Amino acid sequence: MVDLSVNLGGLAMSTPVATASGTFGYGFEYLGALDYSKLGAVTAKGIRLDPWPGNSMPRHAEVPGGLVNAIGLQGTGIDHFLDITVPHYMDQVKDAPPMIVNIWGGSIEEYAEVAKRLTEASQGESGRVIRAIECNVSCPNVKEGGHTFGQDPEVLRRLVSAVREKTTLPLIVKLAPNVPDIRLYVKACEHGGADALSMINTIPAMVIDIEKRRPVLANRTGGLSGRGIHPAAVKLVYDAHKATNLPILAMGGVYDASDAIEFLLAGATAVAVGTATFTDPSVAGKVCDGIADYCARHGFSSVGDLTGALQD
């Protein structure tokens, strides 16, 4: 029997497979479509303080090797999330996997406030499922010039430390892939007090309708996810792992167990399945089974031994 449990910076996961934010709703929408016991965690769609409408339609374009989306972080806001969504998740999903709550904001103060609310909630009944915070830093810093938080190491460090001050929950920082040297951002997260990293978020992208001579997405640009970004994500995980001891939750084009195992060998502690769920809602369970099978075939009694086991 292979031990599939891992610890992601204080988040105990029964398997190394999670779902990626924005691709698995708020955790209950896929009930009946897959075996939830195969999930070590569910990551909820991004939450901020107030409800947010997201971008205008169209917001998706399918491309060879993936998907370009510009949903624009549509969400219900923290009150609705805590009062309705989390109780519904606990009620509907038997033995609910721990939830990683993905958060975002327009200012450092907003991130810190959302983290505080989640931490307070986790000290009550909701603590059965609210077990970690994941900061999405790929959104504009409205208060300080509009660049994304994840693209300036010093701003990133300040953001992480402000959130750290407000939470005792495991703090995962989700890094932006489009930076010149990922190690600077990894170090900024370490200095800010992060417990773990997650990577990668989508890669900036654009699709043009040549007949109309217009961008396909109403927002003009969006983020590329899916198969096509996988090798780039593996390289970033590999570089980040060499620069830090922080555990890494890896994502980007996981469609089967071999994609996931690549991430683990490159240095990830766990993986998240995202866009692949849209074509096969049960895929995360298959990824989990495939990892267990690989471990058994290669003589690994614990999946944790795969982390960074690349023969360089």
Ligand X SMILES: Cc1cc2nc3c(=O)[nH]c(=O)nc-3n(C[C@H](O)[C@H](O)[C@H](O)COP(=O)(O)O)c2cc1C
Catalytically active residues are 139
Residues 262-281 that bind ligand X (CB under 6 A): 274-276
Span from 93-101, 114-122, 250-258, 297-305 in contact with ligand X (CB under 6 A): 250-258
> 39-78 mask for ligand X (x: CB under 6 A)?
------xx--------------------x-x-x-x-----
> What is the footprint of ligand X within residues 202-221 (CB under 6 A)?
202
Query: Considering only residues 142-201, where is the footprint of ligand X by CB under 6 A?
Result: 174, 201
Q: Quick one: which segment of 2-10, 14-22, 78-86, 185-193 binds ligand X (CB under 6 A)?
A: 14-22
| Radius of gyration, alpha carbons of the chain | 18
Tokens of 132: 């970690």
Q: Residue 286, interface with ligand X (CB under 6 A)? A: no
Distances (CA, A) of 6 to 10, 86, 213, 233, 258: 10, 24, 49, 21, 18
Q: Which residues pair with 132 in a beta bridge?
A: 100
From residue 48, alpha-carbon distances to 81, 139, 208, 223 in Å are 10, 11, 31, 20
Give me the DSSP letters along 70-106.
-----B--HHHIIIIIHHHHHHHSTTPPPEEEEE--S
CB-closest chain residue to ligand X: 22
Q: For residue 276, how many other CB atoms are within 10 A of its CB?
A: 23
Q: Which is nearer to ligand X, 224 or 306 (CB)?
A: 224
The contact set with ligand X (CB under 6 A) reads 20-23, 45-46, 67, 69, 71, 73, 102, 136, 174, 201-202, 225-226, 229, 251-254, 274-276
